Amino acid sequence: MRSPVPTVEEIAVALGERTMPEHTPVWDPAGLQLGDPAAEVARIGVCHEVNEAVVARVESAPVDLLVTYHPLLFTPTNRLLAGRSAGARSYRLIRAGVALLVTHTDFDAAPGGMADALAAFFGLRDSVAFGADDEEGLPPIGRHGAFSGTIGALDAMVSDAFGPIGIRISGDREADVDRVAVVPGSGSALISAASLVAQALVTGDVSHHQAVAARDLGLAVVDPGHTATERPGMGALVEMVTEASGLDVVDLTGFDPRTWV
């Protein structure tokens, strides 16, 4: 039975039961990244990414545990020094007594998580998981489902939600589409898999050569940017953390980590 004031570890376990971080690839540092597992949590925050604005916010209005979608430390680190870097932000969180919990590709694949939220955003019907890579240890981070419309209609939905700046389209805007695949974040590695199940892929970070490869496979691509494809899932993350922790959540997902303007 959980104590009246949950600990960092208890919340991590409860969230992990929903997202299964043990099924993430070795490069993805899902789970507790900073802090004391035994520390009690009275106040919890959720963010898209631990950027400068988020760190400043938790320094001025502290939380005991911060749950982030984008990992803060992606690579092995041997120094945490003041300044402006991922290591420096880690140093500031530790100094402020804030533990950090990461849920990334595990949240992408989780029922009701990032991929499901993106599929729901586009109104995909009877969506099915895809994108698992057993060799890499990647869970199924994409979804594909039925869609009634055109490539242009997909473009319009994204433009209405996020604005038209930065959206890239590869394919015939007038072409009818009856099956769409979505991969939140950076999903270009799944172009081949998407071409087998859909006529269009919505994802971010697609390069010129990857778009050419998609076109050769008969797959249209709508690329609104990395973080734009993740925004529909941020509300789902807040809800999931609220359920897992039993606490009121400080919603910091509005601090947009978009780098391109």
Whether residue 244 sits in one domain with residue 140: no
Q: Token pair of 249, please? A: 């959540």
Whether residue 172 sits in one domain with residue 84: no
Angle of the 86-95 helix axis to the 52-60 helix axis, nearest 10: 10
Whether residue 200 sits in one domain with residue 126: yes
Q: Tell me the mean pLDDT in the region 74-86.
A: 93
Q: How far apart are alpha carbons 47 and 154 in whole angstroms? A: 27
Nearest-10 Cα torsion for 258, 66, 112, 13: 150
In a domain, 259, yes or no: no
Q: How far apart are alpha carbons 4 and 198 in whole angstroms? A: 48
Whether residue 150 sits in one domain with residue 224: yes
In a domain, 135, yes or no: yes
In a domain, 1, yes or no: no
In a domain, 39, yes or no: yes
In a domain, 173, yes or no: yes
The helix (run of H) or strand (run of E) holding residue 156 is helix 151-162
pLDDT attached to residue 73 = 97
Percent of the chain with pLDDT over 70: 99
pTM for the complete prediction?
Answer: 0.95
pLDDT attached to residue 3 = 58
The helix (run of H) or strand (run of E) holding residue 119 is helix 114-121
8-state DSSP, 217: T
pLDDT attached to residue 165 = 79
Per-residue exposure over 43-56, b if at least 16 CB sit within 10 Å of its own CB, e if not: bbbbbbbbbeebbe
Domain with 192 in it: what CATH number?
A: 3.40.1390.30
Residue numbers of the domain that contains 62: 8-104+232-251
Whether residue 119 sits in one domain with residue 93: no
Report how many domains make up the chain: 2
pLDDT tens string 158-192: 898 887 878 999 999 999 999 999 999 999 999 99
Q: Is the pLDDT of residue 213 over 70?
A: yes
Whether residue 127 sits in one domain with residue 152: yes
Whether residue 115 sits in one domain with residue 220: yes
Whether residue 146 sits in one domain with residue 66: no
Q: Is the pLDDT of residue 1 over 70?
A: no
In a domain, 164, yes or no: yes
